[in-house]
Structure 1
Amino acid sequence: MGGLWNALNSFSKFAEKNMPKMQEQMEKMSERAEKREEKRQQAYQDRQVIIDEFKSQFYSLSDKELVDIIHSNEMNLAKSAALDILKERGYELDSDNVWRKK
């Protein structure tokens, strides 16, 4: 039983000594996670602003022109805007990979 008490006592001393360091590390990790989340949210908002700008310019395009954008080498954000508009217009991609009205 003495070995168990010695082990518990040693662990208790170790925990007392290292607890402030561990708490500080946990706080730093939490702060970094918060910053990453803020950056992720900002990137999403920035992306959405760009997509909305493309959409405002693409509404006057025909359905065929929108499909051409989707199948082109344009930026992914332009493709996202074109996809959104086609979906708003009631189109969906069928199993043959063809855009059809619902």
Structure 2
Amino acid sequence: MSVLLCLAAATPTTTPPVTPPTSNQCCNSIVASDNAAASVVAALLGLDLTGLDVPIGLSCSPITVAGNNCGNTAVACDAPEEGWGGLIAINCIPITA
């Protein structure tokens, strides 16, 4: 864990922009932006979630038009950056049928 904290401390951080959700994602979990797990993942990616008050998706993959069967939580999020590697998505709102 200390290696992760050192890496997180050495990575410059930026606040991700919050835009209307346009990207359908299948996420393993949805947490508050002040959640410890979200903060660690964000720090590893150089993101600063301080001051954001939006739901955060963790371990997400896109839901395609062909429809990959989402067995977890289907949400609409801000389009995640490619460099985030599906580890995190911002402003995730549950998709209701």
TM-score where L is the length of structure 1? 0.26
Rg (Cα) greater in structure: 1
User: Greater share of strand residues, 1 or 2?
Assistant: 2
Which structure has more relative contact order (CA 8 Å, sep 6+)? It is 2
TM-score where L is the length of structure 2? 0.27
